[in-house]
Amino acid sequence: MPNLPWDLDQWAHHYLVRESVKNTLSTTSVARWGLYVAVVLGVAFVLFRTVELQTLESKVATLENQGRHLFVVQSRDETQPSRIERTSCEQIAENTGAVVAGGMSSVGEVTTAQFGTLQVLAGSTTLFPMLDRGMAIIGSELVQEPAGTEMNLLIDGVGVPVLVGESQPAGISTNNAIVVGLPPNDKLLEKCVVLVDQREHLEGAMPGLLSQLRVFGNPVIGVASFRDIFNPFEEYRERPSAIAGQAVGMLIGLITAFGTLRRSSEIAVYRLSGSSRGSVTIMLIWEAVICAAAFCGSAISALLVFRELDFATGAVLLETASAGVLIVLIAGCTATLILRRSPISLAKDR
Q: Per-residue pLDDT tens for 208-237?
A: 888 888 988 888 888 877 777 778 888 888
Question: What's the confidence (pLDDT) of residue 297?
Answer: 93
Residue 2 is assigned to a structural domain of this protein: no
Mean pLDDT, the chain, integer: 83
Question: What's the confidence (pLDDT) of residue 1?
Answer: 39
Looking at the structure, tell me whether residues 152 and 204 fall in a common domain: yes
The model's confidence at residue 348, banded by pLDDT at 50, 70 and 90, is low
Say yes or no to pLDDT of 42 above 90.
yes
Residue 252 is assigned to a structural domain of this protein: yes
The model's confidence at residue 204, banded by pLDDT at 50, 70 and 90, is confident
Looking at the structure, tell me whether residues 187 and 217 fall in a common domain: yes
- Measured in whole angstroms, the distance separating CA 3 from the mean position of its chain's CA atoms is 47
The model's confidence at residue 170, banded by pLDDT at 50, 70 and 90, is confident
Could you read off the pLDDT of 52-61 as tens digits, one per residue? 888 888 888 8
Residue 95 CB neighbour total at 10 angstroms = 12
Q: What is the mean pLDDT of residues 58-78?
A: 83
Pairing of strands 82-85, 215-217: antiparallel
Residue 230 is assigned to a structural domain of this protein: no
Say yes or no to pLDDT of 294 above 90.
yes
**Boundaries of domain holding 303:** 13-59+235-348
Looking at the structure, tell me whether residues 80 and 190 fall in a common domain: yes
Looking at the structure, tell me whether residues 31 and 76 fall in a common domain: no
Q: What is the mean pLDDT of residues 139-158?
A: 86
In terms of average pLDDT, the best of 138-147, 259-268, 338-347 is: 138-147
Residue 213 is assigned to a structural domain of this protein: yes
Last residue within a domain, chosen from 173, 196, 225: 225
Distance between CA atoms of 24 and 287, rounded to whole angstroms?
Answer: 6
Least confident of 44-48, 137-141, 264-268: 264-268
Looking at the structure, tell me whether residues 273 and 298 fall in a common domain: yes
Question: What's the confidence (pLDDT) of residue 2?
Answer: 43
Least confident of 92-101, 117-126, 129-138, 325-334: 92-101
Instruction: Tally the C-alpha atoms within 13 A of residue 238's C-alpha that lie toward its C-beta.
Output: 6
Our count of domains for the chain comes to 2
Distance between CA atoms of 186 and 83, rounded to whole angstroms?
Answer: 11
Q: What is the mean pLDDT of residues 154-169?
A: 86
Question: What's the confidence (pLDDT) of residue 308?
Answer: 63
Least confident of 112-121, 156-165, 310-319, 329-338: 310-319
**Better-predicted residue by pLDDT, 268 or 105:** 105
- Cα-based distances in Å from 54 to 51, 241, 301, 309: 5, 15, 19, 8
The strand pairing partners of 161, in sequence order, are 152
Looking at the structure, tell me whether residues 161 and 182 fall in a common domain: yes
Q: Which region holds residue 137: left if phi is over 0, alpha if psi is between -120 and 50, else beta? A: beta
**Better-predicted residue by pLDDT, 11 or 17:** 17
DSSP calls for 154-198:
EETTEEEEEEEPPP--TTS--TTEEEEEPPTT--EES-EEEEE-T
Question: What's the confidence (pLDDT) of residue 39?
Answer: 93
The model's confidence at residue 4, banded by pLDDT at 50, 70 and 90, is very low
Looking at the structure, tell me whether residues 78 and 221 fall in a common domain: yes
Looking at the structure, tell me whether residues 144 and 201 fall in a common domain: yes
In terms of average pLDDT, the best of 3-7, 73-77, 204-208, 323-327 is: 323-327
Say yes or no to pLDDT of 7 above 50.
no
Distance between CA atoms of 70 and 227, rounded to whole angstroms?
Answer: 10
Looking at the structure, tell me whether residues 91 and 221 fall in a common domain: yes
The model's confidence at residue 9, banded by pLDDT at 50, 70 and 90, is low
Could you read off the pLDDT of 242-255 as tens digits, one per residue? 889 999 999 999 98
